[in-house]
Structure 1
């Protein structure tokens, strides 16, 4: 065992030394004085979300529901997407046509999952989402209909995500509350996305696309 690990374990033992053996975590009330409910108007929340997502160098558009299919097709043309990964449950009426838009749709199904090679060779993925958080410009996926497996949003270079206005909450705490029950029941993994994948080395040289899509586009849909 390394000296560093020994030091860490020793500090943990010392911290727990005064805790009675019969005490359980649920016996202690944790103070939660932070804001748990937003107070902005719905329009302000959506505008804040759009602004914060844009700050992460993602492309953001606010779209009327009736124009969504056309905007998606145009985004695929602009980004040069010829092979598009589609999760199970994604609304078919929103998808570009194979012939008209020169896009080949790669459907990922529970019984017929796409291989990692197929995902890596694709040009992009399109998904819905479970929730958006305006405070941090974060998109949350929970593997629901139209979102698919976590790997679908990790390997393709381009992620086109559809967020409905009514899915956007103001605060991070509201987002956590929304998924509390699913976490307690140990449901599917929950993914938090704040902008395109990016990291930097010790010299602060920014590199994009290391841990996920290098390009993120978000379409905020108004019904």
Structure 2
């Protein structure tokens, strides 16, 4: 029996107005296409994103609001491309809302940006938000469960956020928030007796090799 896997083909809706087919609809279309092509009698799929993405959302706190007349409004938050690289990496788009008023109208258009001092550090390019959004508000970007924490980094030495599971009104931490100590845990302390003014060495001292054993390097 010939088998075919189509990988992670099941999509999700990231923005308002988007829709994704149900498992049944998607499977029926793939099965028809495979059968008509005569490729295989058994077809499998990796449903990971379609299960995990909508199960998670990312919370940010507003740190600053900058209105430039005739240009746009910028809303800076306490995260950015370190916790969600997808918008900067390949232009993924997301929605954003205020958890304190999730059903409020959203007439304000603003660019939601991070704190990394990079021109590409944009979380939502054209975010729709309530007009009364204010500093210290919590903002939420939904559908980040599949590629949020898995692609997170310590870019610009920013600690990664915690991961919280919530069910039936109860919350529990499954990945704690990183600390400064976590960021420095691989640093090597200065050896005792190191002469003053000598540069600090990080990591193990490389083994010395004879000239004949060194690789032939070409200068560029």
Is TM more than 0.5 here?
no
Compare relative contact order (CA 8 Å, sep 6+) and give the higher one, 1 or 2. Answer: 1
TM-score normalized by structure 1?
0.20
- Higher share in helix: 1
